[in-house]
Amino acid sequence: MVAVDLDLNVILWNASAEAMFGWSRREVLGRPYPLVPEGRQHELLDVLDHFRAGRPFEREDRIREHETGRLIDVRVSTVPLRDADGQIQGAIAFFSDITERKRAEERLRFANALLRAQQETSPDGMLVVDNAATILFWNRRFGEMWGVPSALLETLDDRLVLEHCSRIVENSAAFLERVRFLYDHPAESSREEIVLKDGRTFERYSGPMHAPDGKHCGRIWYFRDISQRKRAEQERAAFLEQIYQAQKINALGQLAGGVAHDFQNLLAVILGNVDILQTALPPHPTAAPACAMIREAAQQAMGIAHNLLAFSRRMPIEKKPVLLWSVVEDTIGILGHLLPGGVQVVAEPGSEPLWVVADAVQLKQVLINLAINARDAMPDGGTLSVSTTLRSGPDAGHAPQEGMAWACVSVRDTGHGIPESLRPHLFEPFVSTKAPGTGTGFGLAIARSIVEDHGGRIEFETELGVGTVFHVLLPCVNAEVTEELPPPSESVPVGQAQTILVAENDRFMRETIVSTLRRLNYDVVTAADGEALLHGWQSHRDRVALLVVNLDLPRKCGMECLRDVRRSAPDLPAILLAGRVEAAFEDELDDRTFLLSKPFSAGQLAILAKRILIHGCGGENTNA
């Protein structure tokens, strides 16, 4: 308690004032009022006017403390001080130290501002509702997520907001039922996912809100948009499924390659023995046609083995001039095993022969991929048309050389067409027009890769409900080739009793080769594996003129054996027998090392052996 006269000199200063402000009574009594902070002395004039007018006042102020000079916050109540006649002699003020309260209020304001900033910048939408369905709080994110107009939120009516939200969720009945359940059971907490009609997914958490006395006073709702996470999970699951499918395809390719390899050995035995029969049997009206039929069936089986090896990626890529329609016809023949009866195939050859430089097996793979896509686009049946045309002139488009002509294969279906959203990404890996789990998403990506590797391009046209047509364009060439294979009736050249070392692990194949060579006047030494080959070479090295070696020998592979032999006989010629050729071996083929691909006929083996032994070479070294 402090009192001052009309001149603002201190006339009362109690013990509490001493403790609060730090000045003793002796220091301040009779002296000017000391509590005004520096720079605010002019305010004393206003205080003096209040004293003289006899008006009491109350306010919060910040005044200075004597000992340290720091400012403290006080609440001050001032009343006039009158004498016995009622005349105003000064004023008396009662001070309360509110410094801690002000600090607490400041901390609370800061905490509230921080909380509000966190709420407004939170990625989660928040809504707080009391027991009377009145909205107590919402943040900006809540309104953005649910698209709730500000005017609707400002009504503070939770029922109106709930009605708005229920209109945009996928299952409004279940949504409303769950919300009502939580309102009817105040102690319940809940966490679930909500799917909206626009495809977004929200994770919703709701829990009870309690007052300081523990009573339930409302409910708080949190909403988090997890659409991106859900999409990532779905993409990851799809990616894993694609990997799984790719692994299955790889395993199937390995199996197909193994089957084709064994199949080739059997076909080589069949073809070799047909040649022996045709030579050994006397002319007969039924024997010759029977041998011809066996040969034709074996050659057709060779095509199947070739396709299996292409599928397993075990066939070397061999680009050469091919007649495009011939490749198309072969592919159509294969499609009979892949297309259901409800799909009709229409072949439309062009008016002139079109030649392209291509690997026929890879080109067939492209056409098969397109045909399978067409089949799956026509689940209820339809028409698959395959045609060839010549494109030239200004409409040929993007030709690498001016005036270049393109050979075009078009594969057309009458299916459902391709959705517009997929068209820009159609040739990307893992993109499929088929239902989940029914396609790998690799077919078109592989097709485009093969076509571009051949210097071409692939285009498509599509219309929903009408169908799709893919155009495969390849550069035309002016070339015609025929295989240099001896016809069955051609006489097979005989040898001059040279010694040939034959290493073949398949017993039937080995016996067929040995029988063929001995019949053609060759001396033959045999081996069933790599170690036997090396032993045979050491025993007969002085007279062996030619090696015939299977690359896939057990115990030691054929190529390693050949390298060992050539350390002592570098000029010894060799014929390598293989159903497939590893890329690492292709570099070792030269003018004394020749490849004979399985299956082969006795005539092919005899002609190649004769060329090597008589002329010292087999001509240009290509896969025979």
Lowest mean pLDDT across 197-211, 260-274, 501-515:
260-274
Q: Are 474 and 406 in contact (CB under 8 A)?
A: yes
User: Model confidence at 12, in pLDDT bands (50, 70, 90)?
Assistant: very high
Work out the average pLDDT over 491-498: 78
> Could you tell me how far CA 588 lies from the centroid of its own chain?
39
Residue 483 pLDDT grade (very low, low, confident, very high; cuts 50, 70, 90):
very low
**Mean pLDDT estimate for the chain:** 81
Res 67: pLDDT: 61
Percent of the chain with pLDDT strictly greater than 70: 84
Between 605 and 408, the higher pLDDT residue: 408
Closest CA to 378 of 389, 367, 388, 370: 370
Output 216-220 pairs: Cβ under 8 A, ≥24 positions apart.
216/131, 216/186, 216/187, 217/130, 217/131, 218/128, 218/129, 218/130, 218/131, 218/136, 219/128, 219/129, 219/182, 219/183, 219/186, 220/126, 220/127, 220/128, 220/129
Q: What pLDDT does 453 receive?
A: 85
pLDDT band at 107 (very low <50, low <70, confident <90, very high): confident
Element (H, E) at 10: strand 10-13
**Strand segments (E) across 380-498:** 382-391, 406-412, 457-463, 467-477
Confidence of residue 623 (pLDDT cuts 50, 70, 90): very low
Q: What is the pLDDT of residue 221?
A: 92
CA distance 82 to 4: 12
The most confident of the ranges 53-62, 69-78, 403-412, 438-447 is 403-412
Residue 485 has pLDDT above 90, yes or no: no
- Going by C-beta distance under 8 Å and a sequence separation of 6 or more, which residues neighbour residue 619? 611
Picking from 231-245, 457-471, 498-512, which range would have the lowest pLDDT averaged per residue?
A: 231-245
Q: Is 459 helix (H, G, I), strand (E, B) or coil?
A: strand
Q: Which domains are delineated in the chain?
A: 2-103 (3.30.450.20), 122-225 (3.30.450.20), 316-477 (3.30.565.10), 499-615 (3.40.50.2300)
pLDDT of residue 434: 54
Nearest partner of 78 among 113, 43, 109, 106, judged by Cα: 43
Residue 253's pLDDT band, with cuts at 50, 70 and 90, is low
Residue type, 103: R
**Residues 126, 141: contact at Cβ < 8 Å?**
yes
Tens-digit pLDDT profile for residues 559-568: 899 999 999 9
Report which residue type is found at 248: K
- Average pLDDT in the 529-540 region? 92
Task: Return the half-sphere exposure (C-beta side, CA atoms, 13 A cut-off) of residue 41.
Answer: 6
DSSP readout, 520-539? TT-EEEEESSHHHHHHHHHH
Is residue 474 within 8 Å of 451, Cβ to Cβ? yes
Let me know: does 325 contact 290? Beta carbons within 8 Å.
no
More reliable by pLDDT, 341 or 315: 341
pLDDT, tens digit, 9 for 90 and up, residues 23-39:
889 988 999 888 877 77
Strands 382-391, 457-463: pairing kind? unpaired
pLDDT of 394 above 50: no
Cβ count within 10 A of residue 506: 21
Give the model's confidence band at 618: pLDDT under 50 very low, under 70 low, under 90 confident, else very high: very low
Highest mean pLDDT among 305-319, 439-453, 486-500: 439-453
Can you name the residues that pair with 12 across neighbouring β-strands?
A: 3
Query: Mean per-residue pLDDT for 593-601?
Result: 79
Q: In 20-134, where do the E strands start and end?
A: 57-64, 71-82, 88-97, 125-130
pLDDT (0 to 100) of residue 10: 92
- pLDDT tens, residue by residue, 157-184: 999 999 999 999 999 999 999 999 999 9
Pick the closest to residue 575 from 553, 590, 555, 554 (CA basis): 590
- 621 three-state secondary structure: coil
- The sign of the torsion formed by the CA atoms of 415, 420, 421, 422 equals positive
Reply yes or no on whether the pLDDT at 438 is more than 60. no
Q: In what order do the strands lie in the sheet with 499-503?
A: 523-527, 499-503, 544-550, 574-578, 593-597
DSSP structure string for 144-169:
HHHT--HHHHTTTBHHHHHHHHHTTB
CA 152/CA 140 separation, integer angstroms: 13
